Amino acid sequence: MPAVSAAQVRHVAALARLSWDERSAPKLVGELNEILAYISKLSELDTADVPPTSHALDLRDNVLREDEPRKGLAQAEALADAPDSEAGMFRVPRVVGGQ
Amino acid sequence: MTAYEPVIGLEVHVELKTATKIFCSCSTDFGAPPNTQVCPICLGMPGVLPVLNRRVVEYALRAALALGCEVEPASQFARKNYFYPDLPKGYQITQYERSYAYRGHLDIEADGTSRRVGITRINIEEEAAKSFHGTRGPGGAGESYAPPRPSPDSPESAAGGGDEGEGYSLVDFNRGGVPLIEIVSEPDLRSPEEARAYLIKLRNLLLYTGISDCKMQEGSLRCDANVSLRPVGQEQLGNLVELKNMNSFRSVVRGLEYEIKRQTAVLEGGGRVARETRGWDEGRGATFSMRSKEQSDDYRYFPEPDLVLLRVDQAWLDRVGAEMPALPEARLRRMTQEQGLSEYMAGVIGADPLMAAFFDECVKLQGAGAGAGGGEGAAGVGGAITPAALANWITGDLARLANAEGVEFDALPVGPEHLVDLLRLVDAGRISGKMAKNLLEECWRAGQAGEAGQAGQAGQVGKAEQSGKDRPVAPLPSAIARGKGLEQVSDEGEVARIVASVLSGNGEAVASYHAGKDKALGFLVGQVMKASRGRANPALVNRLVREALGARS
């Protein structure tokens, strides 16, 4: 069974750009490992004859739309819930470069 | 000293020019005010579901066919998770474990040799939004906008830029959700020149399929490169560097040349090349290390549960193949061998996919008209307008007008129907070649005036996306000719009446003709032309005057 380390917690938090308290690392490591242990119960099932599925419905047909434009939201509507905006655009903290 | 061999593979992202986005019905028109072509789906609102655009699949299949790929009967979309403000859902929908197309190839010529470059796979995916980076202070964001990020999976790192430090970013989601295909090559390229040849060949091929504008400067075609060095003769690949931010064919070559020199120096100095992502700085002419980005498993790819499998059967694939415009080599062969064009003319048309599409449309129209017995404008003569004659006008007068006005062949003020109509008039003897040239120009001006009028009142109503279907409002040349009384008079009865009246009014000239003065014939023909105000068909006039004189002798 995979075990989560403090280093992994730090890494994932950084990928997710979460700010968090380093002191809570031991607690998070414990909780995440408990969750993993719980989920890994699933691997006790024998799935040798079950084909992998990615969807709850076994749809055999494509679900497609035609390439016809439809009006979406107006700029003011799109920005209505934005915490901050400027010049018709969403204004967010500067994020440049990967983690 | 060890000699090193560069090993290069390219990843090319191509924006598909569909009318709407990949998973929602928002327009993809370029240049609209920010955040006016958005909806809850492409803004990543909770509770919405993506629905795949049929044309995206068909365009992607065209690319697969053009590159000789095997198309999978079923493929799957996947979520690529990473957090960046231009990706509102927190993931990009792409393909990962089950792409729709694999194992294609592209043959290139460079450095005097030809090489078959393998295509590993092609993925269908969505475009990220466009962000602008600004800093607070005088001038604000407006003056310090950085160029748009080159691709969703290449967080550009302006050198030294810190995470969430001073400054801010502005995000426009109009581009978010525009469809892309990602074409991944095998590491089969061995020099920057080969990389360039591959890109140009790929660009031309894709232009032919009509699925993208492929403009590198505008970002509708983007290229990342994987480059490593290994001692000549060694099978195993060296440590690979991923190179980004190259915005032109030239910068791809320069970036690769620089990187090969840099890696060679590292190896010759006894060092190891670090596995990393580097950006090309066009201004400094150098690559720089971008901070280590997510590793593949950091993206935690998993199958996209909001979309069902994409299934493509042979019938669909055949249909897409049948609708696809001919590819360059097949097209050149057809033009010279079946359509009777000279090598030169085929070359001119073949080099410009937009001109080639115009030519094809003309040939099709002409064929349809002849088959139907000539149609209204053709005076029943039909069938005599050869592809070579069309090509002549297209590469001659039309190309001259287009060049002079700086317009491309998918945006001319006159369409294929105008040219075919014009040539039918000439072919039926209703106008002379010289009149045809003037008429074409007149038609062109009328089309321009019409466009200006339309743009004025209608604003932006749907772009001419399907290469000019909803083209010009210019009246047909035959209508202009009729309206102005320009058409040649080829009606024998009418011309004969004019001849008769001219001969009876010029007894002296008739007499001197019969006295053996041939010059009088020219005079009489001239008088008939004058009486018809220049509209009578000269060949017909000549014949009828001779006949009439013969009858009187």
Domain locations in chain B as residue ranges? 10-151+168-226+295-311, 325-483, 492-552
Question: What are φ and ψ of residue B443, in 5° steps?
Answer: -60, -45
Between these two residues, A96 and B326, which has the higher pLDDT value?
B326
pLDDT at B138: 37
Nearest chain B residue to A58 by CA distance is: B308
**Residues of chain A contacting B19 with CB distance shorter than 8 Å:** 67-69
Whether A23 and chain B come into contact, CB under 8 Å, resolves to no
**What's the CATH architecture for B492-552?**
Orthogonal Bundle (1.10)
Q: Which of B456, B474, B472 is nearest to B464 (CA)?
A: B472
Our CA-based measurement puts residue A10 at a distance from the nearest CA of chain B, in whole angstroms, of 13
Whether A15 is covered by a domain: the verdict is yes
Residues of the domain holding A29: 6-44
**Residues of chain A contacting B173 with CB distance shorter than 8 Å:** 78, 90
Between these two residues, B215 and A40, which has the higher pLDDT value?
A40
Whether A79 is covered by a domain: the verdict is no
What angle, rounded to 10 degrees, do the helices at B314-323 and B54-66 form? 80
Our CA-based measurement puts residue B374 at a distance from the nearest CA of chain A, in whole angstroms, of 35
Continuous segment of H or E residues that includes residue B279? strand B276-281
pLDDT at B294: 60
The residues near B440 (Cβ < 8 Å, ≥ 6 apart) are B393, B397, B398, B401, B414, B418, B419, B422, B477
Size of interface A-B (CB pairs under 8 A): 166
Q: Which of A17, A34, A82, A64 is nearest to B173 (CA)?
A: A82
User: In three state form, how does the secondary structure of A30-76 look?
Assistant: HHHHHHHHHHHHHHHCCCCCCCCCCCCCCCCCCCEECCCCCCCECHH
Indicate the residue of B35, B158, B303 with minimum beta-carbon distance to A88. Answer: B35
Q: Which of B366, B483, B475 is nearest to B426 (CA)?
A: B366
Whether A21 is covered by a domain: the verdict is yes
**Residues of chain A contacting B162 with CB distance shorter than 8 Å:** 96
Q: Which of A4, A9, A17, A54 to mutate: most B Cβ within 10 Å?
A: A54
Indicate the residue of B132, B135, B164 with minimum beta-carbon distance to A93. Answer: B164
The residues near A59 (Cβ < 8 Å, ≥ 6 apart) are B308, B309
Whether A76 and chain B come into contact, CB under 8 Å, resolves to no
User: HSE (CB half, 13 Å, CA atoms) of B264?
Assistant: 14
Whether A21 and chain B come into contact, CB under 8 Å, resolves to no
Place of tokens 């469809």: B179
Whether A33 is covered by a domain: the verdict is yes
Cβ–Cβ gap A63/B27 under 8 Å: no
How many structural domains does chain A have? Answer: 1
Is the confidence at residue A3, as pLDDT, over 50?
yes
**Residues of chain B contacting A66 with CB distance shorter than 8 Å:** 53-55
Report, as ranges of residue numbers, the positions in chain B whose pLDDT lies below 70: 1, 134-166, 291-296, 368-383, 452-472, 551-553
- For A56-86, the pLDDT digits (tens) are 777 778 999 999 999 999 999 999 999 999 9
Cβ–Cβ gap A96/B25 under 8 Å: no
Whether A20 is covered by a domain: the verdict is yes
Whether A50 is covered by a domain: the verdict is no
State the DSSP code for B420.
H
CA dihedral B209, B319, B124, B44 (to 10 degrees): 110
Whether A27 is covered by a domain: the verdict is yes
Strand pairing of B221-231 and B52-53? unpaired
**Residues of chain A contacting B290 with CB distance shorter than 8 Å:** 97-98
pLDDT at B92: 97
Whether A68 and chain B come into contact, CB under 8 Å, resolves to yes
Cβ–Cβ gap A87/B83 under 8 Å: no
Whether A25 is covered by a domain: the verdict is yes
Nearest chain B residue to A81 by CA distance is: B45
Cβ–Cβ gap B20/A68 under 8 Å: yes
